[in-house]
A and B are shown apart, each in its own frame.
Chain A
Amino acid sequence: MGKPWQGTLEKIDDFHWRIPKDYKPGMRVPGIIYADEKLLKDIRNDESLEQVANVAFLPGIVNYSLGMPDIHWGYGFPIGGVAATDIEEGGVVSPGGVGFDINCGIRLVRTNFSFEEIKDKIQDLVTALFQDVPSGVGSKGEIRVSAKEERQILIKGSRWAVENGYGSEEDLVHTEENGEMQGADPDTVSDRAFERGKAQSGTLGSGNHFMEVQVIDEIFDADVSQRLNLFVGQVTLMIHSGSRGFGYQVCDDYIKKLMSALNKYNINIPDRQLVCAPVNSPEGKMYLSAMKCAANYAWANRQCLMYLARRVFEKVFSKSFQAMGMNLIYDVAHNIAKIEKHKVNGKEKLLCVHRKGATRAFGPGNPALPAEYKDIGQPVIIPGDMGRNSFLLLGTQKAMDETFGSTCHGAGRIKSRTQATKDYSAGELIKELKSKGIIVMASSRGTITEEAPGAYKDVNDVVNVVHEAGIARKVCRMRPVGVIKG
């Protein structure tokens, strides 16, 4: 690791820090970081704070360039970054502010099982999940679709999956955007993206993507937990995946396309990976449409993965998934750009909100929420590393006021993959995790070392900051018992 970041960071209070607007000429707004002293030590060790300052250059950006407590060094945008631009004021959309894995996201499924009931079957369950859910680099799925149908996936997202028997209407209601972002035109997607996306639907992928069998080990809000039918000792399932090769290619295509539009719109940015175009320009509109196609692809993918997982549970426990109470609590995107209304200086504005490694966290009463969540706020799902915890949170009014309805998305890396590979051995990690009651199966041993718990911040510290700062609140915490990795 290089020397700590030397830029200016002012303490506002225990959980808010500011990079002043005059830190770098060209910044249009200040940067605000959500962190405590402990997390800040790690955050300062990479270039992520400089990236928060760079994002503040984006034309039309309002209020602040935001960094969540799980922030780490990305390429262009930091991972854990939020930025909103005012569309009427020439605000831009940046493909780098969404990332290559468009709509990488996470879903949480409940079950009726208590861990005590099924603890002897966890090994069978994990083995069956590993066998039946296609994972690994470039994995190809069992759910094969024709080119014509692929276009339907891009337009309809999760709805395509449900119409084809891979889930229920209730699943759609419990997915951000109902898993079907409107305005996705497949004609804005290149043939190359179609080619890369072919045959990868219904696959988990590799890297930090996973499927986890978990157990709720702590409840923070008893009333909400009861409402959601969640209890201590209950088995849950978490799925983390994205738009696979399809999304990577969409992002790649549009970064190149928008690169040539920088001069046209007279845009100055400090890092080429921040290329952007006005939301209302032809280039901006085309990117957003292609991004929506990729987002829908990802939602269909997670819906198919959940279908495959439910089928495995049905096989292992000889019961229907309905009888096992395997309802989707919620599905959230954490790499996406959204057109949303928010108050800026007391006035309602139409903004393009970029969430790059950040989660939407709408507070109670928001019209985007399904009826049964309207009074409590949007469920927010925060995965941690495979050795520690994951969380279910709720969005808050404070998130609406401060962060354009956004919060953190995970633990955040502190060690590079190369460093993690040097520091850990797959065999020892598997043994160590087993001693903690966690079964891990992965397509590649390399993934296990790269994803070692020690390569991540403690998600408990990250969630503590968003909870204390009020930009999400804790409902319950899970611990993993079975992990499938790519």
Chain B
Amino acid sequence: MTKKKYEFIEHTADIGIKVFGKDLDELFINAATAMFDIIVSAKRSEASPKGTTSPVKKFIIDKKADNLENLLVEWLGELLFLYSTKNIVFDKFDIKELDDNHINAVISGWPTQDYKIKTEIKAVTYHMLKVWQEKNHWFAQLIFDV
């Protein structure tokens, strides 16, 4: 069984998630996966069984922030911006560099038309935002405005 990447937390108006990762890289990747799971309702293979389109070109994300929590918001915010302006659902996140203040990653995905889109995420909020480490495992908590 694969390990749980994230779980939903209750929030009346919006959608909250708690994310898990064995290291920071995995935490950031799982947070991105969770965000796109919220956006699309079916796996690409189910929504577009014939795989009519080919993977789209890669994008590089390079972001800085003054702490890890803000960096997570920057990372997801940039993915959301690229998703909504380039019409790409990202599913591959290759993190090249990641520390408390900087992330550099190469990302790729598939055209939005290959998916069934479920939810419009307006933004990644700072409300209840937390990133922490416990016994060599990383955790993050955040709320999306939907």
Contact = CB atoms under 8 A, between A and B. Distances in A.
B120 interface: yes
B127 A271 contact: yes
Nearest to B14: A75
Contacts of A259: 70, 126
Given A75-B143, A195-B85, A196-B81, A418 B120 contact: no
A257 interface: no
Contact of B10 (A1, A192, A206, A486): A1
Interface range for B = 20 to 34
A255 B14 CA distance: 18
Contacts of A64: none
Interface in B52-100: 70, 77, 81, 84-85, 87
A271 B70 CA distance: 14
B145 interface: yes
Nearest to A101: B122
A136 B117 CA distance: 9
A272 interface: yes
A328 to B, nearest CB: 26
B84 A76 contact: no
B136 interface: no
Contacts of A415: 12
Interface in A366-381: none
Contacts of A90: none
B4 to A, nearest CB: 16
Contacts of A252: 77, 123
Contacts of A100: 122-123, 145
A138 B129 CA distance: 26
B8 interface: yes
B41 A446 contact: yes
B112 interface: yes
A2 B16 CA distance: 14
B1 interface: no
B117 A2 contact: no
B47 interface: no
Contacts of A419: 10
A73 B14 CA distance: 9
A469 interface: no
A383 interface: no
A229 B127 CA distance: 45
Contacts, number: 96
B13 A74 contact: yes
Nearest to A193: B81
A207 B84 CA distance: 16
Nearest to A417: B15
Interface string B1-40: 0000000101111110000000000000000000000010
A76 B127 contact: yes
A249 interface: yes
A140 B21 CA distance: 37
A205 B120 contact: yes
Contacts of B120: 137-138, 205-207, 486
B81 to A, nearest CB: 6
Nearest to A75: B127
B87 to A, nearest CB: 8
A101 B146 CA distance: 10
A138 B81 CA distance: 12
A137 B127 contact: no
B13 A273 contact: no
B133 interface: no
Interface of A: 1-2, 46, 48, 72-76, 79, 99-101, 136-138, 192, 195-196, 198, 205-207, 245, 248-249, 251-252, 255, 259, 271-273, 275, 413-419, 444, 446, 486
26 contacts: A75-B14, A75-B127, A75-B128, A79-B13, A138-B84, A138-B117, A192-B85, A196-B81, A196-B85, A205-B120, A206-B119, A207-B146, A248-B123, A252-B77, A272-B127, A273-B127, A413-B13, A414-B12, A415-B12, A416-B10, A416-B11, A418-B8, A418-B15, A444-B116, A444-B117, A446-B118
